[in-house]
Chain A
Amino acid sequence: MKNTTPAFELRLYVAGQTAKSITAFANLKRICETHLAGQYRIEVIDLMKTPQLAAGDQIIAVPTLVRRLPEPIKKIIGDLSNVERVLVGLNVQPVTA
């Protein structure tokens, strides 16, 4: 069961393959691999394709990273270029390795 539902369920909302969204995804991937290895799942939602999903998570800005689990819901907007702030936002202890 633990493998199917990882502790961190993350959703990255983007709008098309823009520079910002590509940067954001790359940044997110790197941060997760470094600090949350094995505990996360990332779902990328392209609002250009599925605009109806924007309202559900109250998305205004893109890119937006939503931490759906663990609760409470957290949102981080921007291209996630600042690792420290992302970690604060996700409430994750940085792995100092």
Chain B
Amino acid sequence: MRSSKHTGRKAVLSTPPSPTLPKARTGIQGLDEITGGGLPAGRPTLVCGSAGCGKTMLATEFLVRGAMEFGEPGVFMMFEENAAELTANVRSLGFDLEKLAEQKKIVLDHVHIERSEIEETGEYDLEGLFIRLGHAIDTIGAKRVVLDTVEALFAGLPNHAILRAELRRLFRWLKDRGMTAVITGEKGEGNAITRYGLEEYVADCVIVLDNRVAGQISTRRLRVLKYRGSAHGSNEYPFLIGDRGFSVLPITSLKLDHHASEERIPTGIARLDEMLGGKGIYRGSSVLVSGSPGTGKSSIGAKFAETTCRRGERALLFAYEESAAQIVRNMRSIGVDLEPWLKKGLLQIHASRPTLHGLEHHLVMMHETVRAFLPSVVVIDPISNLTMERDEAEVKPTLMRLIDFLKQEQITSLFTSLTTGGTATTASEDSQVGVSSLMDVWLLLRNSENNGERNRTIYVLKARGMAHSNQVREFVLTDAGIDLVDVYLGSDRVLTGTARVAQLAQERAAAELRNQDHERKLRQLASKRKAIEAQIAALQAEAESEAAEVNFSIAQETMQEKIAQQNADAMAQLRGGAKPVKTAAKATK
């Protein structure tokens, strides 16, 4: 009676997107995305897998989330663990079953059958189980039921014919009562989905869990084998059971529809931004920094994170080579101090060994951490460690999921990647072809070795959607920080490091020499000019003295003539006959 009252409410609560088949949200991260909204509401779902692959966890979380988040109380009928054990097991995930039971949100019922206690004679049915379940459902008005693992009955009850008939009836009964049920089942031998063929009875939805070990690393995977009346993702999805429960790596890569921001954010290295069209990278884009060992990949990553924090945004650094303390110390040596940001809570460093989990597990953890911290920048240093010993075919889709997820969230990501090939010039590019197509910006760091030293060079291999420099720059790490320096572009070669410095010094010396030469020439010119000027002055003086001499002689002659005239005049006066003398004097004038 109670259940029918709830049916209407559930249709509203748990089936927002699907117009065809009502679905009950599990609240499990990623699972609702894969199934397009959750498990079929009011129908049983079979969750099967081998031992230890998380069937019970999935079932528990389905029930707990239902009770806590979707207002759907549930009954957990367990056939293997008892209530105390289960409560203890899931407490680590933050689920308090005891409290939920007290609040009448869930009922835990442990069905225990001891084969040795039981004798069988004559006909019977499992009405007792039905009554128990029915009673539990009615007590709290349950909408969800978990049977974990109903197959245990096969071990307890010898008459399998009766049992099968009764199980069929049970699932039918659950359906009739409108219970969204999760029934777990052990994986069978060979290709059998379940050991006792439960899939025959539970035909609406089958989810297969799997725990596979490859290269000593185990990965849990989930697959929706069947979902009657609904589209569903048919791939295998990695999942993990983490601190916050079960989570399936959600696939956002089904669609490429993320928003593309016009905003540019700086990388923290001014000259690098300059190379990237002068403004840095687009927000929400992905950057690959690849290079051989010791080319400064991590430094770029750390600098980027620090710059982000400086802007007051959050940065998340996943480190797979160094511990957090080591990174802080090492980065301080190049003038990048991460500690204040760590203390302020703007920066988080998650350091772990890549071999700790499989790639998928790492990625799921990254998802969780990103979800919890909500950073604007994520740095992963390096991805190449994560992808160790993996086929590219396997790695690429997984990374794609991560990148798509980050893009969807408008988180700018920087991945460093160690390339094999050392100083070789082409190997670095080839070894990254797989993941590079996922990246928007690809910076290549390279060691160039000559003159007995190695120098770092950097260039922008690609940068989608922005004008970028095609130049090789020298990448310099100093106490004061990271800088890019123009390399020496000589007539026939590119010089870096001391060769560049030497070449520049040489050029400076040559320039200095030329300078001095010019000055000398100018001085010479000046003294020549002075000499000429002196000559000019001397000649002028000569001319003047000559002119003066000429004038003097002229004056002298004039004077002599005058005196002679006067003498003549005086003589004429003395002689008395003035007239003829006057004429003579006039004539001489």
Contact = CB atoms under 8 A, between A and B. Distances in A.
Contact of B124 (A62, A82, A89): A62
Interface stretch (B125-133, B261-269, B504-512, B569-577): B125-133
A59 interface: yes
B537 interface: no
Contacts, number: 96
Interface string B106-143: 00010111000111111111111101101100000000
Contact of A80 (B111, B121, B125): B121
B128 A79 contact: no
Given A15-B131, A47-B131, A52-B135, A89 B125 contact: no
Give the dominant DSSP class at B's interface: mixed
Contacts of B132: 51, 54-55, 59-60
Contacts of A64: 124, 128
B93 interface: no
Interface stretch (A3-11, A32-40, A68-76): A68-76
Contact of A75 (B109, B117, B127): B117
Contact of B111 (A20, A60, A63, A72): A60
Contacts of A15: 127-128, 131
A61 B127 CA distance: 6
B121 A61 contact: no
A60 B113 contact: yes
A89 B113 contact: no
Contacts of A54: 128, 131-132, 135
Given A52-B135, A76-B118, A85-B119, A63 B124 contact: yes
Contact of A62 (B125, B156, B157): B125
Given A55-B109, A58-B112, A76-B118, A47 B127 contact: yes
A72 B113 CA distance: 14
Nearest to B132: A54
A22 interface: no
Interface string B251-280: 000000000000000000000000000000
Q: Which of A52, A61, A75, A76 has the most CB of B within 10 A?
A: A61
A97 B357 CA distance: 72
Nearest to B123: A79
Interface residues of A, number: 34
A47 B136 CA distance: 13
A77 B122 CA distance: 8
A81 B123 contact: yes
B132 to A, nearest CB: 4
B153 interface: yes
B122 A82 contact: yes
B121 A13 contact: no
A14 to B, nearest CB: 9
Given A58-B112, A72-B117, A73-B117, A13 B123 contact: no
B108 to A, nearest CB: 10
B130 to A, nearest CB: 8
Contacts of B123: 20, 78-79, 81
B463 to A, nearest CB: 67
A48 interface: yes
A17 B118 CA distance: 23
Contact of B131 (A24, A48, A88): A48
Given A51-B134, A79-B122, A80-B122, A59 B128 contact: yes
Contacts of B112: 58
Contacts of A27: 122
B119 A61 contact: no
Contacts of A82: 121-122
A12 B531 CA distance: 142
B153 A89 contact: no
A15 to B, nearest CB: 4
Given A52-B135, A58-B111, A77 B119 contact: yes
Given A58-B111, A60-B111, A88 B119 contact: yes
Contact of B121 (A51, A52, A59, A86): A86
B146 to A, nearest CB: 16
A76 B129 contact: no
A89 B127 contact: no
A59 B156 CA distance: 12
A77 B117 contact: no
B127 A77 contact: no
Contacts of A20: 123-125
A77 B113 CA distance: 12
26 contacts: A20-B125, A47-B131, A51-B131, A52-B135, A54-B135, A55-B132, A58-B112, A58-B113, A60-B111, A60-B157, A62-B124, A62-B126, A62-B127, A64-B128, A74-B119, A75-B118, A76-B118, A76-B119, A76-B120, A77-B119, A77-B120, A77-B121, A77-B124, A79-B122, A79-B123, A86-B119
Interface of A: 13, 15, 20, 23-24, 27, 47-48, 51-52, 54-55, 58-64, 72-82, 85-86, 88-89
Query: Sorted from nearest, which 8 A-B pairs have the closest CB atoms?
Result: A89-B119, A51-B135, A78-B122, A81-B122, A79-B122, A59-B128, A15-B127, A85-B121
